Amino acid sequence: MEYFNFHTHQFTNQPNVLELVNQYPKDFDSSIPYYSIGIHPWYIDESRINEDLKIIEEKLQTENCLAIGECGLDKRIEVSLDLQISVFEKQLALAEKFKKPVVIHCVAAFQEVIEIKKRLKISVPMIIHGFSKNIQVASQLITAGFYISFGKYLLKNPDLKTVFQSIPNNLFFLETDTMEETIQQVYKIASEYKDLDNKELKEIISSNYRSVFMV
The set of residues, in sequence order, having a beta carbon less than 8 Å from that of 83 and lying 6+ positions away, is 44, 46
Beta carbons of 34 and 64 less than 8 angstroms apart = yes
Check the CA dihedral 30-124-133-79 and report its sign.
positive
Beta carbons of 96 and 124 less than 8 angstroms apart = yes
113 has pLDDT over 80 = yes
**Tens digits of per-residue pLDDT, 137-190?**
999 999 999 999 999 999 999 999 999 999 999 999 999 999 999 999 999 999
**Mean pLDDT across the stretch 9-31?**
97
* CATH classification of the domain holding 171: 3.20.20.140
Phi and psi of 147, rounded to 5°? -95, 160
Res 138: pLDDT:
98
**Mean pLDDT across the stretch 67-95?**
98
90 has pLDDT over 90 = yes
**Mean pLDDT across the stretch 89-118?**
98
Q: How confident is the model at residue 214 (pLDDT cuts 50, 70, 90)?
A: confident
Phi and psi of 4, rounded to 5°? -120, 120
Res 79: pLDDT:
97
Q: How far apart are CA 76 and CA 186, in angstroms?
A: 27
Question: Based on the structure, what is the number of domains in the chain?
Answer: 1
Res 215: pLDDT:
63
133 has pLDDT over 90 = yes
**Mean pLDDT across the stretch 31-41?**
97
- Domain range enclosing 142: 3-12+20-213
Give 109: exposed, middle or buried? Use CB within 10 Å, 0-12, 13-18, 19+: buried
